[in-house]
Amino acid sequence: MDFFELELAAQAWMAQDPDPTTVAQLRELLKSALTDSAALSELQDAFRGPLEFGTAGLRGKLGAGPNRMNRVTVQQAAAGLANYLIANNEIGKPIVIGFDARHNSDVFAKDTAQILAGAGLVPMLFASYVPTPVLAFAIRELGACAGVMVTASHNPAQDNGYKVYLGDGRQIVSPVDSLIAKQIRQIDDLSAIARSQDIQQAPIDLLNAYVERTSQLVLNGPTTEAIRKNVKVVYTAMHGVGYDVTSQVVAKAGFNPLKVVVEQRDPDPDFSTVPFPNPEEAGALDLAIALAQKESADVLIANDPDADRLALALVDSTGKWKSLHGDQVGILLAWWTIERAERVGKKVAGTMASSIVSSMMLEQLAHARGLGYENTLTGFKWVSRVPNLIYGYEEALGYCVDPKAVGDKDGISAAVMMLELISSLKALGRTCWEILDELAKEFGQHLTDQVSVRVSDLAQVDRVLSALRQNPPEVMGGLELSKIIDLAKSESGLPPTNGIIFYFGKPDQELFARVIVRPSGTEPKIKCYLEVVSKNPDKSVAQAEAIRILADLASDAQPLLIGN
């Protein structure tokens, strides 16, 4: 698109944009693009095409243009969603709308509510920001036909997003995403969209009900309040919306008040202390670790900005604070799901699940304890759909410990379950590290890591995956290729997706590795997930072998991801 075409598109956009801020930004960008190549590139990207509506809904950079998050794209999405729901006989039914504290989240939520009301639905809008798990809980609690959560989760400050759930309280999957996207594409005149101010406020009792339900998970468990009070907890909300609800749940569950990282406690859409508000990012937990050291805490817990993820750090055997990988927390919560039931005289029955990029250990644990197991595509929209689910997780810090109440990942319920586990172990003079060692002794040392490359051109992702399909690596980490599963084909047994699984060595051998290459679902990245299993009976040897091969795998993977 040349500048003349861009200018025409921009003028047409400004004519329908109801936001004076983005109109002013676009005018300035047009002016700068005449002499500034960077501004021209930004303008071209903003009008490159519509922001794609997929199984994660919408997510992208804030700004003017069809390839940005703004009031135009959100209103189009809301109108398309309304038309989809009406076509499926949901007219007159409630739909719950929540939002976080990012820039414009409240505006996008209100726009959505007005359009849904104008279409004959019954929008129930939260009066203030809420964590994503509370929105997912509210859908089922109210018997709503759908839900919308305005959030970009752990993305950078310049982003926002738009998650859509149906009446089962789960995020949409194919083909629903395509059907809604088709309706969105038919919306080209915002002035023709009916609107109404007939918006109900979501009942305040929803928050109380969530707090009551989540705290009851622990109150019905095997620990006493005295045991729970013996744990000192440092918490960070990562500038998000998790503090109020998390602190209430923790208190009602009988734990001590949280020691809070004050600088990150209150919502801040600019995330002023962290460039990337993701607990997995290097440096994100520095303030929390400093407070944990000062307070001599037993554990550090962190939510991401919309509180659907949980990060954890503990003191290791050397006395240093160490963050746990998502797979470590995932397997600990799985172990505790089984263990805590046995301690109160119950037996767990059902199925555990994890995404394909999560550790292979959960399958072994589930089967060893007589439980079902199912592997799913990445994302809780898939994990939550497993029949008879009792527990599910994915390595990107997402855990579902109460699937009957919340059909999504929930960093708050996962937090109190981890606190219950840690308090129980402390009462016995034990640690999470010891449990992980015992599980490694039973199932092999499983070490996981990932390598990712951020791309400016999404076509690079397809080029890399195409090259790997045509010329797969014969050796990685010193192990020979034994099997390939192309996730784009039906041979995987999963819904087709763009990704490849490579196995090196064999499961019955002492050393075995798995490498998965796929695009990120939320960021412009290509990701490579690595796992090494060492079954050497000598713990120190197994750890050394796994660490060495994992490092070699990462080294071998890097050039593959950039196309070398």
Q: CA–CA separation, 303 vs 100, rounded Å?
A: 13
Residues 522 and 489 both lie in one domain: yes
Q: CA–CA separation, 229 vs 234, rounded Å?
A: 14
Using CB atoms within 10 Å of the CB of residue 209, give its burial: 0 to 12 exposed, 13 to 18 middle, 19+ buried: middle
Are 241 and 307 in contact by the 8 Å Cβ rule? The answer is yes
Final residue in a domain of this structure, among 409, 440, 471: 440
Residues 86 and 155 both lie in one domain: yes
Are 261 and 291 in contact by the 8 Å Cβ rule? The answer is yes
pLDDT at 27: 96
Which CATH number fits the domain that encloses residue 75?
Answer: 3.40.120.10
Tokens coding 10: 């921009």
Largest CA distance in the chain: 73
Residues 180 and 77 both lie in one domain: yes
Q: Which distant-in-sequence residues (6+ apart) come within 8 Å of 425 by Cβ?
A: 431, 432, 434, 435
Residues 154 and 118 both lie in one domain: yes
pLDDT at 213: 98
Residues 8 and 58 both lie in one domain: no
Final residue in a domain of this structure, among 400, 425, 440: 440
Residues 285 and 344 both lie in one domain: yes
Are 126 and 146 in contact by the 8 Å Cβ rule? The answer is no
Residues 197 and 309 both lie in one domain: no
Residues 282 and 262 both lie in one domain: yes
Residues 393 and 451 both lie in one domain: no
pLDDT at 522: 67
Which CATH number fits the domain that encloses residue 502?
Answer: 3.30.310
Final residue in a domain of this structure, among 203, 220, 246: 203
Number of structural domains, the chain? 4
Residue that has been written with the tokens 């390839």 in this structure: 67
Residues recognised as catalytic:
153
Tens digit of pLDDT at every position of the chain (564 positions): 788 899 999 999 999 999 999 999 999 999 999 999 999 999 999 999 999 888 778 999 999 999 999 999 999 999 999 999 999 999 999 999 999 999 999 999 999 999 999 999 999 999 999 999 999 999 999 999 999 999 999 999 999 999 999 999 999 998 999 999 999 999 989 999 999 999 999 999 999 999 999 999 999 999 999 999 999 999 999 999 999 999 999 999 999 999 999 999 999 999 999 989 999 998 999 999 999 999 999 999 999 999 999 999 999 999 999 999 999 999 999 999 999 999 999 989 999 999 999 999 999 999 999 999 999 999 999 999 999 999 999 999 999 999 999 999 999 999 999 999 999 999 999 999 999 999 999 999 999 998 988 887 778 888 899 999 999 999 999 999 999 999 998 777 888 889 999 999 988 888 999 999 998 876 778 999 999 999 998 888 999 999 999 999 999 998 888 876
Residues 198 and 212 both lie in one domain: no
Domain span including residue 39: 1-48
Residues 215 and 300 both lie in one domain: yes
Determine if the pTM surpasses 0.85: yes
Residues 14 and 152 both lie in one domain: no
Q: CA–CA separation, 381 vs 286, rounded Å?
A: 31
